[in-house]
Chain A
């Protein structure tokens, strides 16, 4: 029987050899599907072609992946406490999560965007927004750590964020919820006409990336959903999609879906910038946190800012226009040339494309269709470049391959649709598994996309993997888009709920990824620069332990004279200057997380001993063959004891 099978196979093989030449199309199809594995396979020891940064959604963080392998490299803590490294737990990083509401240990991170110069990715920083307690974070792309977080006042549901202008002049943050500005006690049903939608323009210092909230444009009380910058010819403009132009304050799923068309708001930020520079705008009292992490002191500081400049756009003629866009548009994407603004009406079957040139002409010719709260509404037909009759349902986001094609996700019909920019014809469509929300082509939101892969990120957690109970991670698909037709080449799970992603070629970041922090540049006020400076100091019931680590011991590792009721600060300085030799620290009964201290870094962990005894501490990061020996003891005496402070190593 087996023999027969083999000979049958051999015969089949022969047939294929002989027929192969006759039907090239068919056989190449077969070859294509069998090479999907080869396309995503990055052999051991080899590296991926692209970095991909996926937002973590309700994890509050940002995850780093490789493309095309789909391998996850790192989770960067941004808006959420992260016990893995001690972010948000260590004394140095707690200030990073400070807000005007106090310490907020979590957020909902949404839309990462990589810094650009002349509309091309430059790989200096990546920005991401916190949606729930409105914040914008800047993350270094040499340390891959959060360096700065700016709270956004007068905003709520910081969703149409954090997109940057083409020279990283501004990172832009728009509010999803309109709210009373300033906040005040008032009936909810007086929303209409009274609430405002603040669109914030935060400048980015070209040298060190420092953020400053320059001005807020106070728009009518719609929901500002997503935004993208103009680029090239449309540089100087910013486009925001809106929904709930009905200004409903309850049962929005019905009440905010009544208008046939909502708007894309076109903001001429250059004009507003000039207005503000010339003293325009209103200085409004505010209270919002600005948190900055200093790489030399390894410490974050939080300062409260007390003022913000607000701008009433109707005071600046020509600064804002509304482009009617069907059916509660979600995605608002701008093609690499800056000519087309794509609005994806999420309750529609079609994709609406506006033309920037036609918009300028309509403004010039005053082709208005009335106004909303003093803001001119341009005539739909006058700005429309075309409509993509997709045949799908529920378009959300569009990215571009730089070859004149656009790729749009369809949530309801669960697919990615490829179409031509200009002819508006659909070229290809491929299903996703399941219900795709967002997609990303490295550089797909810039003048220069790298159109080789598209990553589709799904919005429901149902996937095609082994089941793991009711709750699971989300799933993503990678498609090869180098050919005319898209080809699904990989499924991989993602962490949290990615709402968007940004990607760039590996060579932009890999060579400058930092390996260690220099000990000789450590300016932490509680650093222990050399082991002989290790010591323990007491002020009242506050005890500061200056401790150093090197493979594989703590200096000191025996401490006596600590009392119940003390607040003990362990300031750990890692003296290693070798790549990948962090040391960790944790002590029994600590009401916080461990900390991981990178080479050359100082971090502080607090312990408030509650029980008399001799209590061990140890290194939590496997550091050498003698890691298990990297431990020590603290003797805790009763509160009224008079045992002197002492500390030793090797005695």
Chain B
């Protein structure tokens, strides 16, 4: 159980990477942008990949009536996400400590993972909602109002995951370094759970002998 508990402590601590590295990355490339424009989505705000990218993306998007990219103070998520992640790291590490001390069972490890997963899915859902609004809630006085072949107004929601072609731009949206830290950290808690369970079972078997 001690080894499992140590892994349980390390896993949530990896989520600290989210305070340094971006969670998600969206790149926009086009023939006239051989150096693509890009944004990095951090848990506390959106940042440029290269300086002035946000300004230049906003400058392009105003033609099609999109709102400017939100500043940290424009969205509650950018103040709440760091708090939630912070609490989850604390909880996870605490569970690991208590497990080490033998105060809680390995089942708590899975509990943390399930809670974190639920929160993660909620976060993704929220992120997607914002992108839908960002890509479809367009200024009625936009300079360019484009329509799909079927006559419906064209919208510009970036993909949540993967690549799409939007007008002349190739848009690629993928998890970034922070997300991989989180993914690895969460997987470690699952590993901790199974290790804890295996040790528990072997102890039970030894006990039966």
Interfacial residues, chain A to chain B (CB-CB below 8 A)? 516, 550-551, 576-579, 624-626
Contact = CB atoms under 8 A, between A and B. Distances in A.
A1 B143 CA distance: 64
Contact of B56 (A578, A625, A626): A578
Contacts of A550: 59
A516 B35 CA distance: 14
A626 B59 contact: no
A651 to B, nearest CB: 15
B52 A577 contact: yes
B3 to A, nearest CB: 49
Contacts of B59: 550-551, 576, 578
B8 to A, nearest CB: 47
A577 B54 CA distance: 10
A576 B60 CA distance: 12
B52 A578 contact: yes
Contacts of A624: 63
A578 B55 CA distance: 9
Contacts of B55: 577-578
Nearest to A551: B59
Given A550-B59, A579-B35, 11 more contacts: A516-B52, A551-B59, A576-B59, A577-B55, A578-B52, A578-B56, A578-B59, A624-B63, A625-B144, A626-B63, A626-B143
Contacts of B144: 625
A625 B144 CA distance: 10
Interface centre among B51, B52, B55, B144 (most CB of A within 10 A): B52
Contacts of B51: 577
Interface in B141-174: 143-144
A579 B50 CA distance: 12
Nearest to A600: B52
B68 to A, nearest CB: 13
16 contacts: A516-B52, A550-B59, A551-B59, A576-B59, A577-B51, A577-B52, A577-B56, A578-B52, A578-B55, A578-B56, A578-B59, A579-B35, A625-B63, A625-B144, A626-B63, A626-B143
B169 to A, nearest CB: 14
Nearest to A626: B143
Interface string B53-93: 00110010001000000000000000000000000000000
Contacts of A576: 59
A550 B52 CA distance: 14
5 closest residue pairs by CB, A with B: A577-B52, A578-B56, A577-B55, A551-B59, A578-B52
Contacts of B56: 577-578
B27 to A, nearest CB: 16
B15 to A, nearest CB: 34
A130 B55 CA distance: 42
Interface string B102-128: 000000000000000000000000000
Q: Main secondary structure on chain B at its contact with chain A?
A: mixed
A578 B50 CA distance: 11
Contacts of A578: 52, 55-56, 59
Nearest to A580: B32
A418 to B, nearest CB: 40
Nearest to B52: A577
A639 B177 CA distance: 66
Interface centre among A577, A578, A625 (most CB of B within 10 A): A578
B141 to A, nearest CB: 11
Contacts of A516: 52
Contacts of B143: 626
Interface centre among B35, B59, B63, B144 (most CB of A within 10 A): B59
Contacts of A551: 59
A578 B56 CA distance: 6
B187 to A, nearest CB: 40
B142 to A, nearest CB: 12
A354 B35 CA distance: 52
A229 B52 CA distance: 45
A578 B35 CA distance: 11
A550 B58 CA distance: 12
Contacts of A625: 63, 144
B11 to A, nearest CB: 41
A257 B51 CA distance: 63
Nearest to B144: A625
Contacts of B63: 624-626
A626 B35 CA distance: 23
Contacts of B35: 579
A114 B3 CA distance: 64
Interface in B10-30: none
B65 to A, nearest CB: 14
A577 B59 CA distance: 10
Nearest to B62: A551
A626 B63 CA distance: 9
Nearest to B56: A578
A577 B55 CA distance: 8
Contacts of A577: 51-52, 55-56
A623 to B, nearest CB: 11
A551 B56 CA distance: 10
Contacts of B52: 516, 577-578
A630 B159 CA distance: 33
A551 B144 CA distance: 14
A320 to B, nearest CB: 53
Nearest to B143: A626
A577 B35 CA distance: 14
Nearest to A577: B52
A516 B52 CA distance: 11
A551 B60 CA distance: 9
B63 to A, nearest CB: 7
A85 B175 CA distance: 44
A579 B52 CA distance: 10
A550 B63 CA distance: 13
B99 to A, nearest CB: 51
A518 to B, nearest CB: 9
Contacts of A626: 63, 143
A80 to B, nearest CB: 32
A624 B168 CA distance: 14
A624 B59 CA distance: 11
Contacts of A579: 35
A421 B57 CA distance: 58
A625 B63 CA distance: 9
B111 to A, nearest CB: 49
A576 B52 CA distance: 9
A551 B59 CA distance: 8
A435 B56 CA distance: 51
Nearest to A45: B34
B119 to A, nearest CB: 37
A649 to B, nearest CB: 15
A624 B51 CA distance: 21
A626 B143 CA distance: 9
